[in-house]
Structure 1
Amino acid sequence: MKRGRKIILVSHCILNQNTVVKPLARAKGAYTKIVEEILNHEIGIHQLPCPEFIYLGLQRKPMEKEEYDTSQYRSLCKNLSKTVLQIIKEYLKNGYEILGIIGIENSPSCDINGKKGIFMEELFNLLKQSNISLKTLDIPEEYEEGKNFSTLKNYCQSYKLWQ
């Protein structure tokens, strides 16, 4: 079967809520409805690493961006971003269309469009240096799996990531 050659990059917790800080998880596993919507459009999903999980593990406490903003954590995010940039370049070199990146609103690491998270700051700095521009979308903080998907679906469609 021929590949569709369309990819979307997603923050780690979209596919695995088990890595989210305990009180903040909003689904039992993945954001199933979001994943189904992407798959229904025959788009491949590339899961980004979770720097918070790598840095502090599952037992970490909820922290603000300012608490994560240390030289050690920023270095980790920069190194992870270099790997992601290599992956993006490999897709592009081979004729794939990267539809965009989906982040998480108000995440200290993965917020893209608001108070940009540290991981996304580092990743978008590298993308800019490489003259790569991608569409972006943040899953709203109020989204909870199974409760308000139609609103989220309309929100996602307004960003035209997969139309």
Structure 2
Amino acid sequence: MNRSKKVIFISHCILNQNTVVKPLARAKGAYTSIIKKILDSGIGIHQLPCPEYLFLGLDRKPMSKEEYDSYEYRKICREIVLMNIQIIKEYINKEYKIVGIVGIHCSPTCSISGQTGILMEELLKLLDDEKIDIRTFEILTNYIEDGEKQDILSKFDDFLR
């Protein structure tokens, strides 16, 4: 079977809502509608590690970007970013298409627009430093896997094209 040579980088919790702070989970396990769209498009998935989980574990309380923003937390985020930049460069060097990076709006870690989350801030800065241009998409805070989601899914379809 031929490879599509297409890969998308996604925030950890899109595939694993079990690592989300307890009151903020919006799906039983994964955002299956989002994942199905990626898989149906023949795109490989690269899941970014969750620095919040690595830093404080499953029983952490909801925290703001300001509360997470410490030397120790940024160090974890930078380590994740450095590893993933090497992965991105390898894909690019082997002529793969990086379809994009998918974040979570208003996340202290993975928000891309507005107040950028710490992981995405570090990732986008290093991509810019490396002169690597990758499109981004965010899952909005009102997205719930079992709720009405046609608008976001049609926008995500457009993003995947």
Partner residue of 2:70?
A: 70
Counterpart of 1:128? 128
- In structure 2, the residue matched to 1:148 is 148
Unmatched tracts of structure 2, length 5 or more: none
Shift of 1:92: 0.6
Match of 1:29 in 2: 29
Could you say which residue in structure 2 is the equivalent of 1:162? Answer: 160
TM-score in terms of structure 2 length: 0.97
User: Would the aligned equivalents of 1:112 and 1:136 in 2 still touch at CA under 8 Å?
Assistant: yes
**Who is 2:116 aligned against?**
116
Q: Matched residues in 1 for 2:49 and 2:29: separation? A: 16
1:6–1:96 contact (8 Å) kept in structure 2 = yes
In the TM superposition, structure 1's runs of 4+ consecutive aligned residues that sit over 4 Å from their partners are none
* Structure 2 residue identity aligned to 1:66: E
Q: Secondary structure at the match of 1:81?
A: helix
| Cα RMSD, aligned residues only | 0.8
State the alpha-carbon separation in 2 of the partners of residues 156 and 52 from structure 1: 25
Q: Percent identity among equivalent residues? A: 52
The SS at the match of 2:160 is coil
Query: Alpha-carbon deviation of 1:79?
Result: 1.1
Q: How many residues align?
A: 161
Give per-residue Cα distances to partners, 1:44-72, cap 9 Å, x unaligned: 11100100000000000000000000111
Q: Residue 151 of structure 1 aligns to which amino acid in structure 2? A: D
Match of 1:40 in 2: 40
Q: Distance in 2 between matches of 1:114 and 1:84?
A: 23
- 1:156 and 1:37 mapped to 2: Cα distance? 8
Q: What SS is found at the alignment partner of 1:49?
A: coil
Partner of 1:98: 98
What letter corresponds to residue 161 of structure 1 in structure 2? Answer: F
| Structure 1 length-normalised TM | 0.96
Return the offset for 1:149: 2.2
Q: Once the 2 structures are TM-superposed, how far is the Cα of residue 76 of structure 1 from its aligned partner?
A: 1.1
Distance in 2 (alpha carbons) for counterparts of 1:151 and 1:162:
14
Cα distance between partner residues in 1 of 2:88 and 2:146: 31
